[in-house]
Amino acid sequence: MSLQKISERNIKTFYIVESCRSLVFIIPMWIAFLQNRISTSEIAIYVSMLLLTQLLLELPTGAFADLVGKRVTIIIAYGVDAIQYLLFGFAHTFVQFIVLAAISGLAEALRSGSLEAIVYDSLKQDGKEESFRKVMANQGTRFQIGLILATLIGGYVAPYWAPLPFILSGIPLVIAALMSYRFIEPKIDLEIFTLKNYLWKIKMGSMEAFKTVRHRYMSLYYIAVGSISWMCATYFSDYVLIDLGFDTSMRGVISSGIRIINVVLIYKLLSNEKLFSFRNTIIFFPIIMVLGLLPGQWLFGVWGIPFVGIVMMSSTARWILLGKYTNAVFESKYRATAISTLSMAIGIVYVIGVTISGPIMERYGDSRLIYTLLGILSLITLPPLAYKVLKNYE
């Protein structure tokens, strides 16, 4: 295949492998699964360990992807992720969960910068980088559909055999690892792997994220939005649904319903570049995140569902709306490492936030307080950062 036409094949492969990854059957039950085996504080440590591992490995794996190749890195990532899912359902001790958290963190670190970078670089090589947001929006729709189906099924199969949702989540990742062989490595700014180049790539890639005022505020804004929304989407929202009084099956239905709305919004609104111009995008996140999080402490029953939905949508929107602008800021030869730098920073905030939350939730017995505290944090950080981004963006 001509190197001038690799984006078509790589994007199709991207859609396939990420659709496999979207089949996360554990969504409505993983918190309850852990609650039956370890304490609330230990759950917080488990989640923190996952992100801490990713944090420590972000820059090395990003540089590895820039030097050895994003394709190889992606294949390894899906394979490692499949292993931890297949083992997770049979773990029972805190130590076992910590080991699995480290394996999962490695998989996330390998995939985080590489997958997005291979798509963007493929489009750039073909002169189609302006299509990046559309590609990510299309994938976001596909991903949400996969999550909807997996969440519904997971909520109903979990009561019959607890390990089953984990096995069902691991098998598609094996398929994703095999399908990743279809990726073609873009020929943009590739370098020969040496230890010197490896260390240099880490240094330059991390500097890339903050090298100018424009880079700095865009990166800080992305980190703030990403860390708060990601904590909620992957951890606190599941706890909130439990504290709102919903059982496993009902949580599956609610989460699926929220994701259906997400699909509609992605298709109708978030992919509309006229509506979500750069300026509107930057203004959008402070509003929606403060609105969704701040009332958390006072939520109850079905009245809490819309707010959980708003918070989950902010995480989805982060990938689609901010991804294009963040990627465009960085040079191709440092892009994967720079993206990994931002992911590493998000991981730092995530680890701190989740670790602190464990004792708080154990003491007050409710996760909804955490929502409100994160709403206050959003109110303090996002508006001033948004102002700085708009002021310095050219």
**Residue closest to 15 by CA, chosen among 189, 179, 213:** 179
**Quick one: pLDDT band at residue 143, thresholds 50, 70, 90?**
confident
Residue 62 pLDDT: 74
Helices 213-231 and 305-317: crossing angle in degrees, nearest 10, is 140
**Residue closest to 314 by CA, chosen among 344, 339, 284:** 284
42-71 pLDDT, tens digit per residue, is 998 998 898 888 878 877 887 777 778 889
Whether the per-residue pLDDT at 276 is higher than 50: the answer is yes
307-325 pLDDT, tens digit per residue, is 998 888 888 778 777 776 7
Residue-range definition of the domain harbouring residue 240: 3-182+189-392
Residue 243 pLDDT: 86
In terms of average pLDDT, the best of 169-178, 309-318, 330-339, 346-355 is: 169-178
CB 389 within 8 A of CB 212: no
Whether the per-residue pLDDT at 94 is higher than 70: the answer is yes
CA distance 296 to 368: 5
115-141 pLDDT, tens digit per residue, is 888 888 888 888 887 788 788 878 877
Residue 2 pLDDT: 45
- DSSP letters along 137-205, please? HHHHHHHHHHHHHHHHHHHHHTTT-TTHHHHHHHHHHHHHHHHGGG-----SS-----HHHHHHHHHHH
Rounded to 5 degrees, φ, ψ at 365 are 65, 25
Q: At 263, which helix (H) or strand (E)? A: helix 248-265
CATH number at residue 245: 1.20.1250.20
CA distance 335 to 113: 8
Q: Which of 71-85, 151-165, 184-198, 250-264 has the lowest mean pLDDT?
A: 184-198
Please state, in angstroms and as integers, the Cα–Cα distance from residue 163 to each residue in 47, 91, 98, 243, 352, following that order.
19, 9, 17, 23, 29
**Residue closest to 304 by CA, chosen among 288, 289, 293:** 293
Whether the per-residue pLDDT at 107 is higher than 60: the answer is yes
The share of the chain scoring above pLDDT 70, in percent, equals: 89
Residue 365, phi-psi category: left (phi > 0), alpha (psi -120 to 50), beta (remainder): left
CA distance 157 to 249: 9
Name the domain count of the chain: 1
pTM, two decimals, is 0.71
